[in-house]
Amino acid sequence: MDRITIRKPDDWHLHVRDNDMLRAALPHTAKNFGRAILMPNLVPPVCTSAEAAAYRTRAMAVLPEGSTFKPLMTCYLTDATDPDDVERGFKDGIFTGVKLYPANATTNSAAGVTDYKKIEPVLARMEKIGMRFLMHAEEVDPAVDVFDREAVFLERRLTPWLKSFPGLKFIVEHLSSKIGVEFVRAHAPQVGASITPYHLQLNRTDWLGWGNRPYMYCMPVIKSEADRLALRDAATTGDVCFFLGTDSAPHAVAKKLAVVGAAGLFNAPVAIETYAQVFDEEGKLENLEAFASLNGPRHYNMAPNEETITLARESWIAPEEIKVVGPEERALIYRGGETIPWKVVG
């Protein structure tokens, strides 16, 4: 198969930041995707429905003319989130879901949850109104090894919630481990998971085995080859519980290369092409549409996009970086300079 037409994909996990970076980053997603869930970990975070409505307006304002792209908004969960505001935002069509960041788990998560007891009223309300719960599913207890954070979170936090909130639908964001794949399969359809391009392509030897490569550093961290293979199998079988979420997360070069470097890779300019390559390598191109365009809407109880895109086996070289007006200057692109074997041609 050298050419494939699929319904327009959606990105169920995307960071585009704000201001200058938003202007530079969002058009790369709007080009090929119908919708994307914009993550709320701005500085300061998007915690209320009013803040989310304002952020959505800023996002719409940077879209190219005539774009049909639709940003979907999330509420940044804190110990103090008001269930009434969450419900109002959901019913008014502002919030698509609520996003959990355990405090200090990743970039801009300092305002995240510290006391899981305090968020139970929000979870109960979401269960009642049919709203989705998106989780940065990592345990931040310092006693837990960074490679085990996902597995421990699933056991320690998510397992009890599945019983306490049986009507609530969960999303394990950026699924990164074999244990996680098995967990999601066992608990579908209550649980779904988004999978990034880089967790499908990289293992920790790529990241650390030949020099430290800060542009492979993200949270959850890249794991072993066995984990990568389990994720490739999960994504490419077309199982309804797994769907596309790039976690594309641009950072200024200076932040990536600092003594304490920022987690996150900017993959939007090569995202759908990279997924297509992975599905092709696995001989599963026929399942790309399910993963990229059907399973996500189904988990969110939305209709799939009507528009289509066409990908062809046609090589091109990924640009190295995007320029950002203002102090952030530029952000490097995941796979920049590499030959990409699939191209969006229509």
Least distance in angstroms from the C-beta of 101 to Zn ion: 9
- Using CB under 5 A, which of the segments 147-155, 187-195, 220-228, 245-253 binds Zn ion? 245-253
- Look up tokens 């968020």; give the residue: 119
The count of other CB atoms within 10 Å of the CB of residue 266 is 27
Choosing from 10, 85, 227, 247, the catalytic residue is 247
247 is a contact residue toward Zn ion (CB under 5 A): yes
| β partners of residue 74 | 97
For residues 54-113, which are near ligand DOR according to CB under 6 A? 106-108
Least distance in angstroms from the C-beta of 199 to Zn ion: 12
Choosing among Zn ion, ligand DOR, none, which partner's interface includes residue 191 (Cβ < 5 to 8 Å by kind)?
none
Residue nearest to ligand DOR (CB): 264
Which DSSP symbol is given to 105? S
Q: Is 85 a catalytic residue?
A: no
Choosing among Zn ion, ligand DOR, none, which partner's interface includes residue 264 (Cβ < 5 to 8 Å by kind)?
ligand DOR
197 is a contact residue toward ligand DOR (CB under 6 A): no
Is residue 240 exposed (0-12), middle (13-18) or buried (19+ Cβ within 10 Å)? middle
- Around 81, how many Cα atoms within 13 Å sit in the side-chain half-sphere? 37
Angle between helices 225-236 and 271-281 (to 10 degrees): 90
Which residues touch 234 (CB under 8 Å, ≥6 apart)?
Answer: 175, 181, 184, 185, 193, 195, 242
Q: Is the dihedral of CA 209, 210, 213, 215 positive or negative?
A: negative
15 is a contact residue toward ligand DOR (CB under 6 A): yes
Q: Could you please report the per-residue DSSP string of 168-233?
A: --EEETT---HHHHHHHHHHTTTEEEEE-HHHHH--HHHHHBTB--GGG--SSPP--HHHHHHHHH
177 is a contact residue toward ligand DOR (CB under 6 A): no
With CB under 6 A as the contact rule, the residue among 21, 249, 268, 294 that binds ligand DOR is: 249
Q: Which is nearer to ligand DOR, 7 or 136 (CB)?
A: 136
Task: Tell which residue, 243, 247, 277, 245, has the closest CA to residue 265.
Answer: 247
- Using CB under 5 A, which of the segments 53-61, 81-89, 247-255, 308-316 binds Zn ion? 247-255
Q: Which is nearer to ligand DOR, 74 or 287 (CB)?
A: 74
Is residue 31 classed as helix, strand or coil in its secondary structure?
A: coil
311 is a contact residue toward ligand DOR (CB under 6 A): no
219 is a contact residue toward ligand DOR (CB under 6 A): yes
Q: Which is nearer to ligand DOR, 108 or 194 (CB)?
A: 108
264 is a contact residue toward ligand DOR (CB under 6 A): yes
248 is a contact residue toward ligand DOR (CB under 6 A): no
Choosing among ligand DOR, Zn ion, none, which partner's interface includes residue 107 (Cβ < 5 to 8 Å by kind)?
ligand DOR
CA distance 96 to 83: 14
Q: Could you please report the per-residue DSSP string of 273-299?
A: HHHHHHHHHTT-GGGHHIIIIIHHHHH
Interface ranges with Zn ion (CB under 5 A): 247
> Catalytic amino acids?
247
Interface ranges with ligand DOR (CB under 6 A): 15, 41, 106-108, 136, 218-219, 247, 249, 263-264
